[in-house]
Structures are given as structure tokens and as C-alpha cells.
Structure 1
Amino acid sequence: MNYKLFFEKEDLISYSLLQVISQQPNGKITENEVLLDFSISSYRLQHVLETLNHDLKNVKSNVSSYIDTSEKKLLHGINITTTVVQSIRLMYLKHSLLYAMFEYHFIYSNQLSNAAFMKKNFISKTTFYNSQNKLKDILQQEDFYQVSSEFGDNEHAIRLHLFQFFYTAFNGIDNPFAELDAPADQIIESIQTKFQVAITPTQRTKLLIFLKTWILRMKNQCFVTKPMLAETKLDALDHQLLDQIQAILSKTLTLPVGQIELDYLETFLVIQGYKPGYSELTSKMTMPLAYSWATDLMAQVKQSQMLLDNDALKTTTLESAILRINIQFTTFYVEPTTFISLDQVSFFKETYPLFDQVISHFIQTLHSNTTIKMGQNDSVNLYFSYMFAFINNIPINLLRNMVYICVDFSQGKLYTDYVIRTLTAFSNAHIMIERIPSPETDIYLSDFYNNSVQQIQITWRNPPTPLDWSLLGDTIIDCKKQKMTNVTDDDNER
């Protein structure tokens, strides 16, 4: 969700400026660049900076964050971390009337009349209905009612996007809907006690927000009307847990929680790994689309000719990782807060070109053939999920575009071992280290040029500089591109 669509006009400028400054390598940008990019006057920029620095003072942090303007015509962001930017984003979201309208529309509309909301927020009828129309446009623009799931009804789609909205916006920075802390904490405690599971801080935050969203929708008389799965098999412990949850919620909700709602919660807990039962719940019969995608992607891996030996790949491990990704994506997909930028894709495309080719092609086929609508963020997140599954489960020695680097330094074995150990940290980049040149060697790395070596030579200084490392990285990428061309040519000949 693009939260900037909700911001008040002045907050939007302040936040956009903060984003730009935070993205500068040294946190610095000239005033002229800002004036040009934002099309504002110097006077207005000064007002924006004063407001922004005032807001930054109110961000909870161990160190002071601010925009330093002491150097003439230069803006310098001091301690503008990701957390600080996210905190300002949440602050401005809370300032917004559109956000208040968003909460009212989805959480309180059946508990509070329009007139009561207007009175509470000191707004006129005209402002209310104008804001309502703006909110409707934002929700349509952001495909809020569209969800990457083949299950359930409209209520599933709404809840999932509300969960994504609050999880990404608050994300450990602040605690939304604190009045529901008690029942949500009690439910989590019951889960941990019944199933003896350890829940990490990030998992707890995610579960808290999911539970609160679930409770809020039910309090607003909005219920799921059909189960996500045809059948949810429950054992004695499951029934005990759900009975406890019923008892906890009886103090919060006036109506009893129906079985469909409890099945909904059960499905989330299992698929997100909060309790056992994954293999029983996620069968081929209950989730045919997730299994179909996994089969199709595995087939593309083998057809791509990217592996030296298809039979040597442990397909079960890779297919299981892919299947888990598909199941989450087609049920309770949590919109990511990281790895959603197209700029990040370019790094992985250069580093893992064979993986990129297979994954990109597969996602394109999903866009063409599936009934599930996928936005850009959905596609990029699915790309990274598959990419990490490939990196973690496909051994580098099976790849046809491995880059072989022979390391041979004149200082002897001790220094050579040090360089090899350093390069080993980049083993996932599909490089193989050698000590003696071989027919497979692509790059000869040393501190002296050697006329007897026919391969590409890179001569490092002692110690190597950042420029030396950069040159090696660029050469590795060039070698991969050449090998990628060879693989493509081989495929075309077939």
C-alpha cells in the first residue's frame, strides 16, 4: 500500500524530502536539487525543513535525528535511519483525515454513525463525503479488494489487506489498537502453552496484528462466510485451544465466534508456522494451485538446461521450499516491507543470471495464465522468494555458469588462504575457488601479472583496494554473461 496517498499535502512534501535525503549515499543533497525536484520556492523549503526537524524531534530514538542546514545550500541528514523514516511515515499517516476515514470505513462503520464520526473528528458533511470519495479512489487504485488467493470470499480479501496495511505501517514501531492487547496476548500465550512453540519478536508482532484485525472485523459485524479449506482436521489439542480462544473472546465480543471463524484462525496459525499440522492441512487436494505452480516451476528448472546434471539435484528439498512459498502466497500473503524494489532485482539478475531467467519467465507465465491478479509488488516479492529458494537449495557445483577463480599470490600460502577465505564469503555468487590454473579457470587472481597464464588476469595491490574488489566483481559478472549466452545458444540449438 502506498501510504503517501493518505498524507496531508504538507506532510507529503516533508516525507518525500526525508525519503530523498535518506537515499543519498552520504545523506547529503543540495538545496538546488530539492528546489528543482519538488518545484517549490526557497521560502517554502525553509518552512518544510523547520516542520520536518520539529517532527524528527518527536521520533523515539537513542540518537538525535535531524536535517542539518549549517552548510550553505546543502541539506545533510543526520542519523536518518530506516526506522526513523518509517516512524515519520506512521506519524504522518496518523495525522491524516483519510486514514481516520479508512479506519472508520473498515473497523467502526457498524458501531459508529456517520454523524458521530464527523462530530468526533470535527468535520463537516461536505468534508466527510469528499474524503469518502477520495478514499474510494485510493482503494480502487491500490486494488485493495483484489487478493492473490484462490480461497474464501470478499471478507478474506479485505482482512488480508487490512492485516498487510497495519503490519507494514506499524511494524514494531508502534502498537495499534492497544485496547485489544489483553485478549490478543492471552491467545498467543495459549498457543505457546498448548503447542510448546517459541515465537520470535517479529512473529509475535505479526500474530498480534493479525489477531487484532480478526477481532476488529468481527466486532464490526463483518464475518467470513465460507471456510478457506473444504475440511480442517482438528485433534484434541486443537479443540482445547479453540475452546480457550472462545472463552477469551467472550469478554470482548457480544456474539460467539462461529466455527468458520475458528477455522480461519486455525488455517493462518498453521500456514504461518505458529502451530503444527502443516502437512495435514496443505495437501494437493486442498491447495491444487500451489502444487500446480510448484510442478510447473520445477519443470522449467529442468528444461532450462541451467544444471550440469538434473538427476544430481535433490528436487524434493527445492520443491518443498517452492511449495511453501506458493501456499503462503495463495492464502495468507503478507505484503513485504523489504525486497520489493525493482532496483534490487537488477543485483540478483547480474549475480544469478540463470536463476533470474527461469524465475522471470515463470512469473510472466503466471501473469498470462492464472486467474489470480498480481500487482508489481506481488511479482517482485514472489521473484525474491523463489530466488532465495533457488540460492539455498541448488548446489553451486551443479550450475553451468559457475565462474572458476584461481587464487595465486606471491606472498605464499598464508596470504593466499586469507584471500580464498575472503572470497568464500561470496560462494553463493556461484564462484568456485582454485589454487592451480585448470582448463575450467575463468579468472586468474594474483598480485603479479603472469605471461604463462592464458585466462583473464586480475592483478591486485597489497592489500586490495575497494576498486580492486569492484573490478573483480565486474569481471565475474562479465564471465557469467558470456556463459549465459553460451547456455542460451545451446538451448536454441536444441
Structure 2
Amino acid sequence: MDIYELLDEEQRYQLFIVRLLDLTIDEYISISKLEELTGQSTFKIKKYIHNINYDLHNNGFDSKVIVQDDVVQLQDIDLKVIKLLQIHYFETSHIFPLMIYLLEGQGTIDGYAQEHFLSTSKAYAARKQLITFFKPLGIKIKKGKFAGDELMIRNSISTIIFEALNGYYCPFSDSINQAAKKVIEFLTFHFDLRLTPTQKGKLKVLTALSLVRCKNDRSLDDSFLSSNKVFQTAELNQLSAYTQVDSDKLVDELSYLLMFLYVEGLLRKADEIEFKFDYFATIDTKSQQISTQILHQVEEKYQIQLPEEISHSYRQRVRQSNRRHAIYSFYTSSFSTNKQIQSVNEVYPVYSEIIWGVIKEHLPKEQQDLNGQMVRFFYDYLFILLDILPPEQVEKPIDVFVDFSQGKEYTKFIIKQIEGFKDLNLAIGDRLTSHTEILVSNCVVPRFKGKQIVWKNPPAPSDWEVFGDSIVQVKKERLLNRDMKRLEDTGE
């Protein structure tokens, strides 16, 4: 699901350009490179850049995209500016506002055209694009109503809204937003919620969408609760009257919101609530298979036996992560480049190799796209594993020795900087030995058999890059040696 398909064509290309330039800030990006990446002409690329600058100026930003000697660069544009520009584009597109209009049941396509000063043909073209966008998700638009699996509709649309507007605000009518605020106050009071701004943003979108669906007779037909005793009748009736949702239906909707809070780990007294997990039966089975396979391969790779508490915790958290994706994706589009993914693979080569392999085995081929589900699952499974089982617990750290001619204090200063790279799993030695794998100095040391890095004084950014590359190379050599030894031991 590419939410940027809900932008008008020019907006989509313009946002692509600024996002790409931000990601590749240290690279040489020319007009011709943008032509190659977008398939657009020089004329159109220059037009898009002109439009970007116009939109930035009109939205009060003293920022611009500049072109110097065919090189395209950002000037005073950071990710905050890009996010706000993105919000502006979704607000002013023809397709995204139509989605909100139809969700709220505000009227017909002809009515939408009149309200938004569009020609009827453009409004119907936007409707066609909306239908095409939702078709692969099994969601149809019939007579201006969204139809299909209700949880799929809510998961998809809440994800679109939160991602498109970056959680900045909820785009529904004031009456819906006020009712949503009342429901959230009810949940906050009864369950002692302590939410961060982003968590509140997610809950508000889900709650508002829940009320919109009820308003259009598309409420849930089942509850995620085994018992309704968690709510008091009098208070429930008051909330029902305010939201204009039947109390029985309201309980089902509240159970949906409580399940969101549960899978996000935001319910402080979750054990006191009797949830039903039938909906997740298939997902839980798949989660068990995936987590068990990852753990087994970690044990095999490192020739270790993991404690049961680590295995249990990993299985439980993978299950929770997959449950969350099943009905509350709320993914943030990472716009991952191959370079970004490669850097993660290089820092955590063993874990990355294992997790990629397992995901490819279990995830359907149609979902194996680098900027979609595959990457999100990879990062989830990797981050959980890194939290539960940091590499330093199973891997020998890389031995590094630092020795600069400027003296002991300067050497200590460099060591402190190197120690800041905690993810690299380094051990800084106090002397040079036969076990030292990397030597960092401003002098060449004769007869040293490991990797020797000679830095400038003080070290330049290129020196740090060489250091990082050397760490990656040592890790690759270790992996190769480990695999060769295992083959020798097994006689394969």
C-alpha cells in the first residue's frame, strides 16, 4: 500500500524529490539523475522544483530547493519541513479529501465536486483512483460507501490517515472529533492511561474512525472482550447518549480500542481485563513458527543454548507485534533505500541474515517488497531480538587498540568517541596484542597483522567512514571463518 498514490500526480513527484534529496543529502543528485529516477523530462523536473519552492513560500517557510551547475540541493529544508509539506499536499489533493468525504457520508460525488470547486469529470476521476487504490486490499466503494472486511477497512484507513497527516491532526468533522475526545477521556479515566503525543494521535484516529463507521451503520459485529463487566452500566449509557452509538455496539467498539491499547502495551492493568484472542488464532500460530525458527537458527549459528526466559520473551513479543500489524498497522513509511538497509545488515550481519531468511520463507511473495511489509517485519523482529539478546551476549567483541602520538590524553579523547558507537560491539584494549583486530593510530606500526587504520589529526569524516568499513569487514571475515569451520566440523 503506497499512500502517496492518494496524491495528485504533480504532488507525488514533488514530494518524492524533496524526500529523496533529504535521504541522499551527502550525495550528488543532478537533474539528469532525477529524470532517470522519475522517468520525467527536464522540463517537468524543473517545473516540480519551481512548484515545491512556491508551496514552501506560500506555507511560510524560508526554505527552497536550489539548482547549481545541474546539482539539486535542499536549502534550510529538514524533515519537519518535509512532513508539513506532505500534510499540505494531502490536504489539497483531490483524492485524499474525497476519501474522508465519503467516509463521513457527507454526500455524493457531484456534491464533492461543487464543495471543492472541481469539475464533475475530475471528481469522478478521483473516485476512480480511490477505487483502484483500495481494490488490492479487498475494499470496495459501493454507492459512496466503503465495503469489505471491517477490520481491514479500519486498519488500512487509520494507517493512511495517520501516515499521510503524520499524526498532526484528525481530519474528521468537529462533531466526530468532539465525540472521539469524550471516548478517549472515558478510557483515560477508567484505565489510568498515560499516553505520549504519538500514542494519543493513533488512539484519536482509531476512535474517530470507529465513530464514523458506527454513524454509517458499519459497527463491529463482535467484541474483543469475554466479559462486559469492565464497564459500569450508568457511565456506559451516558457515553452512549453523547456519542449517539447504541450501548451494545459501543461496548464492541470500546473493546476494539482496548485491544489496540493492549497490543501496544499501554494498558497498565491488562491482567484485569478478560480479552478474547480468537481473531488472532492463525496469526499466533504463524508467530510461533517464525519466532521458534529465528531462535533455533541463532542457537545453531552461535552454538549456544538460549535460556527459556529469553526464548519465551522473544516468542511473546513477536506474537504481540504480529497481532498489532493484523488490525492496527500504523506503520511509518520508512522510504528505505538499499543503502540504509545494507547498513543495518552490516552492523548486525548474523541476526539480519537469519531474520531475512525466515521472513522470505513465511511471507507471501506478493508482500516481499522492500518498502512495505517485509521491511517492517524485519525491523520489528530485529529490534526485539536486539533488546532481548544484544549481540555482545553471544558474540566476541571486536578488539580495538588506539594509539596516537599526541599523547595519553588525546588518545583517551579518541577512545571516548569510539566508545560512543555502542552498537558495533567493540572492546578497546589497553595494549597491542596478537588478539588485536583493528589498530587506530596516526602512525604506521610495522609488522601488525590486523587491520591498521592511519587517521588524520584530528580525524576527518572520511576517517570515521574507513573505521566503520573496517568493522564491517572484520565481521564479514568472522562470519566466513565461522561458516568454514562449521563445514569442516560437519564434513560437508
Output the TM-score relative to the length of structure 1. Answer: 0.82
| Cα shift at 1:173 | 3.5
| Cα shift at 1:48 | 4.2
Contact 2:62–2:76 (Cα < 8 Å) also in 1: yes
Give the 5 Å matches for 1:180-329: 180-227=176-223, 229=224, 231-233=225-227, 238-240=230-232, 244=235, 247-253=238-244, 255-256=246-247, 258=249, 259-278=251-270, 287-288=280-281, 289-290=283-284, 292-294=286-288, 296-304=290-298, 305-307=300-302, 309-311=304-306, 314-329=310-325
Structure 2 counterpart of 1:480: 475
Once the two structures are superposed, what CA deviation does each residue of 1:236-268 show, in whole Å capped at 9, x if it has no partner?
xx314x864653353343644513323222212
Structure 2 counterpart of 1:57: 57
Q: Give, in whole Å, the separation in 1 of the partners of 2:278 and 2:33.
A: 57
Once the two structures are superposed, what CA deviation does each residue of 1:93-114 show, in whole Å capped at 9, x if it has no partner?
2322222332244332xx5345
| Cα shift at 1:351 | 0.9
| Cα shift at 1:190 | 2.8
| Cα shift at 1:383 | 0.5
Specify the SS of the correspondent of 1:406. Answer: strand
Specify the SS of the correspondent of 1:97. Answer: coil
Where structure 2 has 5 or more consecutive residues not aligned to the other structure, the ranges are: 141-147
Indicate which of 323, 334, 343 corresponds to 1:338: 334
Indicate which of 348, 356, 359 corresponds to 1:360: 356
Q: Give, in whole Å, the separation in 2 of the partners of 1:445 and 1:282.
A: 56
Specify the SS of the correspondent of 2:104. Answer: helix
Contact 1:404–1:443 (Cα < 8 Å) also in 2: yes
Indicate which of 391, 399, 406 corresponds to 1:396: 391
| Cα shift at 1:328 | 1.8
| Cα shift at 1:350 | 0.9
**CA 1:76–1:380 in 2, change beyond 3 Å: closer, same or farther?**
closer
Structure 2 counterpart of 1:102: 99
Q: Give, in whole Å, the separation in 2 of the partners of 1:485 and 1:220.
A: 60
| Cα shift at 1:363 | 0.5
Q: Give, in whole Å, the separation in 2 of the partners of 1:353 and 1:429.
A: 11
Q: Give, in whole Å, the separation in 2 of the partners of 1:103 and 1:443.
A: 57
Contact 2:30–2:71 (Cα < 8 Å) also in 1: yes
Specify the SS of the correspondent of 2:302. Answer: coil
Contact 1:56–1:66 (Cα < 8 Å) also in 2: yes
Indicate which of 438, 446, 470 corresponds to 1:443: 438
Structure 2 counterpart of 1:423: 418
> Is 1:40 equivalent to 2:37 in the alignment?
no
Contact 2:401–2:431 (Cα < 8 Å) also in 1: yes
More displaced stretch, 91-100 vs 277-286: 277-286
Aligned AA (2:78): T
Contact 1:401–1:480 (Cα < 8 Å) also in 2: no
**CA 1:75–1:383 in 2, change beyond 3 Å: closer, same or farther?**
closer
Aligned AA (1:463): P
| Cα shift at 1:378 | 1.2
Aligned AA (1:351): V
Specify the SS of the correspondent of 1:276. Answer: coil
| Cα shift at 1:366 | 1.4
Structure 1 counterpart of 2:347: 351
Q: Give, in whole Å, the separation in 2 of the partners of 1:452 and 1:26.
A: 37
| Cα shift at 1:74 | 5.6
Once the two structures are superposed, what CA deviation does each residue of 1:429-469 show, in whole Å capped at 9, x if it has no partner?
23233223455432223333333533222233332222221
Q: Which has the higher contact order (CA 8 A, sep 6+)?
A: 1
| Cα shift at 1:345 | 1.5
Q: Give, in whole Å, the separation in 2 of the partners of 1:168 and 1:316.
A: 32
Contact 2:321–2:380 (Cα < 8 Å) also in 1: yes
| Cα shift at 1:384 | 0.8
Contact 1:68–1:75 (Cα < 8 Å) also in 2: yes
Contact 1:308–1:400 (Cα < 8 Å) also in 2: no
| Cα shift at 1:481 | 0.8
**CA 1:114–1:318 in 2, change beyond 3 Å: closer, same or farther?**
closer
| Cα shift at 1:408 | 3.7
Contact 1:420–1:433 (Cα < 8 Å) also in 2: yes
> Is 1:22 equivalent to 2:22 in the alignment?
yes
Q: Report the count of equivalent residues.
A: 474
| Cα shift at 1:165 | 0.5
Q: Give, in whole Å, the separation in 1 of the partners of 2:277 and 2:238.
A: 34
Contact 1:27–1:76 (Cα < 8 Å) also in 2: no
Specify the SS of the correspondent of 1:239. Answer: coil
Contact 2:287–2:315 (Cα < 8 Å) also in 1: no
Q: Give, in whole Å, the separation in 1 of the partners of 2:119 and 2:404.
A: 77
Contact 2:359–2:378 (Cα < 8 Å) also in 1: yes
**CA 1:169–1:273 in 2, change beyond 3 Å: closer, same or farther?**
same
Where structure 1 has 5 or more consecutive residues not aligned to the other structure, the ranges are: 147-152
Output the TM-score relative to the length of structure 2. Answer: 0.83
Indicate which of 404, 409, 416 corresponds to 1:414: 409
Structure 2 counterpart of 1:150: none
